[in-house]
Chain A
Amino acid sequence: MKKVWLFALMLGLVVLAACGGGSEEGSESEGTEKQEEETTEEETRSVTIEDANGEQTIEGTPKKVVVLEWTYAENLQALGMEPVGVAGLENYGDWVNVGIPFSEEVEDVGTRQEPNLEAISRLNPDLIIGVDFRHNAIKEDLESIAPTVMFAPYSEEAAQDQFKNMKEEFNTMAKIVDKKDKAKQVLSDMEKTFKEQQARLEEAGKDGMNYVITQAFTMQDTPTLRLFTDNSMVAQIMNSMGMKNDYESEKLEVYGYTETTVEALQNYQDSNFFYIVQEEDNIFENQLAGNPVWENLAFVKEDRTYQMPGDAWTFGGPLSAEVLAEQVVNAALEEK
């Protein structure tokens, strides 16, 4: 009998949620800042934010947050908090390095693609942060555990300018956990870092470099290159330091890059070639060394290639952005 009641209850909730979502759709365009309803008393604080599924109101100030995608774990760290659970915790450090290691208390909650609902539920979180393209299918399950915020970083709209989208998502998170001042500071620190790094470039007389930047790895036994387009975070960061991207794609790349082979590089031989590779999968040393198609590229012959380390998370938050900016300039100045 209990099942039936539970189901009826859940069905009711789903219907309510659906109705609620529908009626608010019209006001979406007004932006995130205006609908804020903050009362003075801390206990009854509630914020209204906008995520992939429209507007929602979150009661209280979340303290125990479970994060199902790395970017948002990093954002939380930047805000001076630590998530209670992170999906894909084991491999996080291989790809994301912002210099703040997690403590022992942080729990692994399964893979990012199939996070373990029981593990999340056991942590008894008061907020879950997921990402639309992975977790849409389990949205209702997550919501039954805790209020869930779902970002959509690769929607048509967000993809136009991933750097801007990153900042918006960061601010939204700050608003939810009530750390707006901290967020302001983090973002201004980030801008400051960009300025400092740009100054380093200017000092070395390397300002205004034109570039092509790629993240390269082996796939199907083949050296594969992701050439970043201007809407990507990486390119935006480099552009804001006064550099100029030579790579342009014909269509909008929602992830901010085009995947291609070494063959395509011959179109950009006048550029400065920046590349991000993992140490054990350096395709330029392992597979392409001695290959005439690589060796004969003008920027290889004239030594205009710049290697960056592999732990720069090109899809991260403000801290990753700072790390990236530094790594770009380190590479450009060929300093370690």
Chain B
Amino acid sequence: MNSTLKNTMIAVLTFGGGTALLCLLTFIHINQGNVEIPLGVVVESIFNPQDTLQHHTVRTLRMPRAVMGIIAGGALAVSGVILQTVTKNPLSSASTLGIHSGTYFAVVVTTIFLPAAMVGNGIMTAFIGGILTFLFVYVLSGGSDASPVRMVLAGMIVTFLFSALTSVLQIFYENETQGLFLWGSGTLIQNDWDGVTFSLPVIIVGVVVTMVYSSKLDTLTLGDDVATALGQNVRSVKVVTIIAAVLLTSITVSIVGPIGFVGLVAPHLIKLIGYRAHLPLILGSFLWGGNVLLLADVLARVIDPSFNELPVGAITALVGSPWLIWLVMRMKRTGSQDSGAIMAGKNSAALSMKKLLPVLLVLITITLLVSLASGNYGFEPLVTYNAFFGEANTFLQGLIVDLRLPRALVALFSGAVLAVSGLIFQGVLRNPLADPSVIGITSGAGVGALMTIYWFSVSAVWIPVGAMAGALVFFIVVMALGAKAEFQPTVLALLGIGMSAFGSALIQIMVVQADISVASALTWLSGTTYAKGWSELLQYLIWPVLLFIPLLAFYIKTLDVLSLGDDTAKGLGLRVVNVRFQMALIATLLAACSVAAVGSIGFVGLIAPHLARLLVGSVNQKLLPVTMLIGGALLVVADLFSRTLLAPNEIPSGILVALIGAPYFLWLMKKRAT
């Protein structure tokens, strides 16, 4: 009796309280706007509408926005429930599985190449893009056997890939995509009821389908075998519900843009309350999803009441990412021992260093020479040769020595530094996925850099100092949280994703809040070798190389010992905790130096060590020089293309690295999955 009473109370609070909160939030929401409208008039406009401007403002501008928030939040939450059940993965949601980036990419592609197919806000395109992305991520991460973490990582890499592709398209087709650019971060603004009337039927169909299937989803949670034994067609249930989930996601993307984390947070709220059966889970998630999104929108406009409003997606990320971190920490307690590791290079060619190093050095020299000889007018080796050794063409000589050479060297050094940082992180954390950007440190550097400008309004000279401070703070947070989880690879990777999302939300908020002084910081943040020269090289890149690399050359052997596992390492007399901290600190400093010089360029620190392992095996002393050289070469090539492909316009080299890096990484994942 007591327990039924308790259950009833919970149900009343969840649904009744949720509805009450929704009403309250809606009311606050429609009272926000550019024009002061007295409370009485707002109320009157709802219950006793008249043909006055203020009433129309409430009824055709504000109400649709509120309603859109509710149904979009609800739809995203329901799709989160389904994805979590079907993939047996508590971390699934449209954003963590990369579906958002896929749908957005599809919309951008169609806008450019097939504008005719954009009928109905491009819902069909978005839908197809979403389904394909889901299948892509699902297969890559190993299908139904995939561990939660693998799947989320695949989703993250796919997100990187699609964002890079989207950016490239936006650079090539600036005019066609101009209107789409800001929509990419998600906003609820509505001009009238069109968005609601368009999406509501689809959302209703999607939610009703999932409700019809809710009991079948219940059996699915018992495992595929049990479900099959109970006479259920597991495959058809999965297919139908996933189609419904992607449909719900794509309709929201096509109207309000990609809004992350609602699909992750809302279902877990309901699960926390104690609901396991899918019918109440779906209904509750819908209700609370609406609450979460509406609250985020209210907050966004409290933080910035002007029209330059914050994309609501930034707020949901800001609120949602700590949730992700909390969930991850909680997973550890349930004892998930899944390693999620994709240690590449086990079957390496193990080439001898004596042969490999000269080959690499020659390769790098050639790349550098090609880079020096290439410019706005393509590849001109003869002209370059003449500039140096032929007739005294001082002009071209100056061009090469002052512009191309320092820039190529900056690329070489920052690539090398990033790669080493990645190598150390991978060794220290015994985590093949560790990389300054994956564990969230580069994002911290970005936050630090922007904060120095925005809060202390100091000159750009201090940006690197801020970057280092930010990187260190994020590093300490990730390490402190990671220590609780004994630095489990999976936990760290997910913590990094959470911190990165948190960092980029902060960055987005600061960018919207601050004015144009941030413009220079923005180009810098996107990760670019544009206009980098001797000063960057000498200020941020030379001294870490001179200081840390020799140190590492002697010290890096300890990483081999660490890789044997903590107990063995301790047995061998290594002070594990100390070593780990010192090494990680060096890696953070290296990463921060590179960020200070060229901004956040991802993937180099991830890929270079893996490639190196493929070549020389897993002995760190061998890996160090090889990784450096590969990382450097990678960025030199990216820099070369960023200068020349679209000359005189630039492509940020960070994007080019992602375009090279992401597919390689996915291939690596796929290889290990089979």
Contact = CB atoms under 8 A, between A and B. Distances in A.
B526 to A, nearest CB: 10
Contact of A293 (B61, B187, B375): B61
Contact of B56 (A144, A269, A293): A293
A144 B307 contact: no
B233 interface: no
B110 to A, nearest CB: 15
Interface in A175-230: 218-224
A266 B182 contact: no
**Chain B CB within 10 Å — which of A138, A267, A292 has the most?**
A292
B61 A221 contact: no
A221 B118 CA distance: 14
Interface in B523-541: 523-524, 528, 530-531, 533-535, 538
Interface string B8-37: 000000000000000000000000011100
Q: Is the interface of B mostly helix, strand, loop or mixed?
A: helix
Contact of A137 (B56, B59, B531): B531
B395 A292 contact: no
B192 A260 contact: no
B4 interface: no
A38 interface: no
Contacts of A261: 34, 61, 189, 307
Contact of B60 (A2, A111, A154, A292): A292
B306 A118 contact: no
Interface string B168-184: 00000001000100110
A262 interface: yes
Interface string A117-157: 11101101000000001101110110010000000001000
A138 B520 CA distance: 10
Interface string A84-125: 000000010000000000000000111101111111011010
Given A10-B534, A221-B183, A110 B650 contact: yes
A118 B57 contact: no
Contact of B53 (A138, A224, A297): A297
B38 interface: no
A234 B533 CA distance: 40
A318 B534 CA distance: 40
A21 B516 CA distance: 24
A99 to B, nearest CB: 23
Contacts of A17: none
A109 B648 contact: yes
Interface string A243-271: 00000000000100011111110110100
B519 interface: yes
A226 B184 CA distance: 22
Interface in A1-52: 2-3, 6-7, 10
Nearest to A219: B182
A137 B648 contact: no
Contact of A108 (B57, B189, B533, B648): B648
A117 B179 CA distance: 29
B399 interface: yes
A240 interface: no
Interface string A313-328: 0000000000000000
Contacts of B517: 133
B191 A267 contact: no
A288 interface: yes
B343 to A, nearest CB: 39
A141 B530 CA distance: 11
A93 to B, nearest CB: 13
Contacts of B257: 220
B391 interface: no
B648 A116 contact: yes
A109 B52 CA distance: 53
Interface stretch (B332-340, B350-358, B400-408): B400-408
A141 B60 contact: no
Interface in A283-305: 287-288, 291-293, 296-297
Contacts of A293: 53, 56-57, 60-61
A108 B650 CA distance: 13
A266 B61 CA distance: 13
B34 A263 contact: yes
A130 to B, nearest CB: 12
A122 B393 CA distance: 13
B531 A117 contact: yes
B513 interface: no
B54 A266 contact: yes
Contacts, number: 140
B146 interface: no
B519 A113 contact: yes
Contacts of A121: 398-399, 403
B585 to A, nearest CB: 29
Nearest to B183: A220
Contacts of A110: 647-650
Contacts of B144: none
A114 B187 contact: no
Given A293-B56, A293-B61, A137 B402 contact: no
A118 B403 contact: yes
B533 A141 contact: yes
A299 to B, nearest CB: 12
A2 B400 CA distance: 13
Nearest to B175: A91
Nearest to B187: A220
Nearest to B400: A118
Contacts of A296: 51-53, 56
Contacts of B538: 7
A260 B179 CA distance: 17
A223 B538 CA distance: 48
A138 B530 CA distance: 9
Contacts of B535: 140
Nearest to A283: B191
Contacts of A136: 460, 520
B643 interface: yes
Nearest to A6: B401
A144 B516 contact: no
A154 B530 contact: no
B652 to A, nearest CB: 9
B56 A118 contact: no
A262 to B, nearest CB: 7
B308 interface: yes
Residue with the highest number of chain A CB atoms closer than 10 Å, among B53, B517, B528: B53
A214 B192 CA distance: 21
B160 to A, nearest CB: 22
Nearest to B182: A220
B646 to A, nearest CB: 9
B348 interface: no
Contacts of A115: 648
B496 to A, nearest CB: 29
Given A137-B531, A220-B187, 6 more contacts: A119-B648, A134-B520, A223-B191, A261-B307, A296-B52, A297-B53
In the A-B complex, the 3 residue pairs with the smallest Cβ-Cβ separation, listed nearest first, are A116-B648, A110-B648, A292-B56
Interface of A: 2-3, 6-7, 10, 91, 108-111, 113-119, 121-122, 124, 133-134, 136-138, 140-141, 144, 154, 218-224, 254, 258-264, 266-267, 269, 287-288, 291-293, 296-297
Interface of B: 33-35, 51-54, 56-57, 59-61, 175, 179, 182-183, 187, 189, 191-192, 257, 306-308, 311, 375-376, 395, 398-399, 401-405, 460, 515-517, 519-520, 523-524, 528, 530-531, 533-535, 538, 643, 647-650
20 contacts: A114-B523, A114-B528, A116-B649, A118-B376, A118-B399, A119-B376, A121-B399, A122-B376, A124-B395, A133-B520, A136-B520, A140-B535, A221-B187, A223-B191, A261-B34, A262-B61, A263-B34, A264-B34, A266-B53, A266-B54
